[in-house]
Every structure is written in C-alpha cells, then in structure tokens.
Amino acid sequence: MKKFLLFAAAVVMAVSASSQVVTSYSYNKSKSATMWYARLGLSVNNVTGGDMVKSINDFDDYTETSLGSRTGMSIDFGFQRPISNFGLYWGMELGIGTRGASYKETDREDSDEWEKGKLLAWNVKYSPFTFGYKYSVTDDLKLDAHLGIYASYDFAGTKMKMEDSDGDKWDWDDFEDDWDYLKVDAGIQAGIGIWWKRFNLDFTYQRGFVPMCKPTVEYSIYSNGYYVGHESETYKLYSSNFMIRLGVAF
C-alpha cells in the first residue's frame, strides 16, 4: 500500500511538473509572438496644400514665394503583434521626430533672392494603431506593408529662422501668430519595409490632416500697367513627411 501511495504521489508530481512546463512554454511562446523594435532614421519634411506663388512686398515689387523641404530625423519605438498565421499584424509606435519646411522669396523678374527662412520643429509623436502585412520571401527575408494613423505635438523649434540677401539673420518671433501656426497635428501614415532576420529598412510617408499653418499672402492687382486694387489670400498648409529608417527587433 505504501509503495502504491508513493507511486501515485510520484505520478501526480510528474504530471503537475509537466503541466507547469507546458503552461510556461505556451506563455513564453505567446509572449514572444509580440515583436518589439526600435527605428532611427532620416525625415524629409515639407508642407502641402498651398500654392504660394504670388506675393507683393511693401514696395509693390512683384515677388514669388516658394516652399521647400527641410531634413530632420525620427526616433521610434514600437511593437508588432500577429493577428493571424497569414502575416497580418497590428501595432503601436511612440517616438520623437521633426516637421517643417523652407521658405524663399525671390524677385519674379530677375530671380534675385530677397529673403529665405527655415522651420524645423521637434515633436513627440504617437501612433495608436498600425495594421500591416508581412509577406515571407524566405524564412529570413520578409516584405512589410503597413498603414496607420498618428498624432503629434511640437515642443521645440517652432520659430522660423530668417536670412536676407545680405546674410543678416534673425528669428521671426511672431511667426506662430502671423501664420496661425498650430503645434498639434494628426494624420495618416503608410509605408513599406524589408525585414532581414531582426533588421529592418523602412520607408514611411506621413500626411497631416490638421492645418500646420495658415499664411496670408497679400498682392496688388494691375490692369494695363496701372494699380487697380489690393487683395489677400489665405492658404492652409499641411505637414508632409517622408521617413527612411533603419530598425532592429529585440
């Protein structure tokens, strides 16, 4: 009887231990399904939505205003969690990035540069969800297409840095008020990337849906060489960012 009880106790302990091992393995396997990663890279910042091609300065000399890109950077941390066994996943992302543009005003007649400015604002950005699909080319090589939304808040660098044709530089202190600059942004982001084992090369485009700024351009109207009136037009400019990032999963 004692031998039977000892044998039964040994069986119960073995089954219990085996159950704990299986449970621990299943938990770790489920936990490891979530892939955490970090990305660092270049951000080409610009604006879209406004056709700023005409303006008149205080002396009524006809000038042309143009907007270009600024180069910044992006640092992001996030995770991807599989939705199914077919490559679908969802994830979140948090990071620090930039947005902005360059500004230039030139004489329309001889293309002489009058003044130029540059804006590069630093922000905290958050993507509450991103949905993607990974296509396995091989066991180690995967193509990654993803689509999501983001929100951001600018915490530094929101003043336009100006420079005139003589090389004099100054800060446009009233830029935020004059152009109705808004520090908050939200929009959509879409991209495609390549994973090689734990390493990633990603290309993502962001387009804001909240007006970044609303500049008002004033210009004079001429008819047959004579001044006939004065008008103004307000443009809505939206942030437009293209990011090239290198990442690693851990």
Give the 3-state secondary structure of 6-43: HHHHHHHHHHHHHHHHHHHHHHHHHHHCCEEEEEEEEE
- What is the pLDDT at residue 5? 36
Q: What is the mean pLDDT of the chain?
A: 83
Give the SS3 label for residue 197.
Answer: coil
Region 100-110 average pLDDT: 81
Which tokens sit at 215? 């500049």
**Confidence class of residue 110 from pLDDT cuts 50, 70 and 90?**
low
pLDDT at position 229, please?
A: 75
Asked whether the whole model's pTM tops 0.85, one would answer no
Query: In this predicted structure, what is the pLDDT of residue 35?
Result: 96
Nearest residue to 184 (alpha-carbon basis) of 158, 215, 146, 147:
158
Which of 96, 233, 201, 219 has the alpha carbon at shortest distance from 155?
96
What is the per-residue pLDDT across 190-207, written as a single tens digit (0 to 9) for each?
999 999 999 999 999 999
Q: How far apart are CA 170 and CA 177, in angstroms?
A: 17
What pLDDT score does 200 carry? Answer: 98
CB 64 within 8 A of CB 56: no
With bands split at pLDDT 50, 70 and 90, how would you rate the model's confidence at 95? Answer: very high
Least confident residue range of 89-93, 142-146, 158-162, 185-189: 158-162
- Predicted pLDDT of residue 62: 62
Task: Give the E-state strand segments of the chain in sequence order.
Answer: 35-48, 55-56, 62-68, 70-82, 88-107, 113-136, 141-156, 160-164, 169-172, 184-196, 199-208, 216-223, 226-234, 238-249
Of 123 and 109, the one with more pLDDT: 123
Phi and psi angles of residue 181, each rounded to the nearest 5 degrees, phi first: -70, 135
* Predicted local distance difference test score (pLDDT) of residue 206: 98
Q: pLDDT: is 156 or 14 the higher one?
A: 156
Task: Answer whether residue 59 shows pLDDT above 70.
Answer: no
- Distance between CA atoms of residues 62 and 221, nearest Å: 10
Place of tokens 């979530």: 34
More reliable by pLDDT, 101 or 16: 101
- pLDDT higher at 231 or 241: 241
Cβ–Cβ under 8 Å, residues 100 and 121: yes
Is residue 31 over pLDDT 50?
Answer: no
7-11, 31-35, 178-182, 245-249, range with the lowest pLDDT: 7-11
CATH number for the region 35-249 comes to 2.40.160
Please enumerate in sequence order all residues whose Cβ is within 8 A of that of 114, keeping only pairs 6 or more positions apart, or say none: 57, 63, 105, 106, 107, 164, 165
Q: How far is CA 30 from CA 6, 38, 139, in A?
A: 36, 21, 20
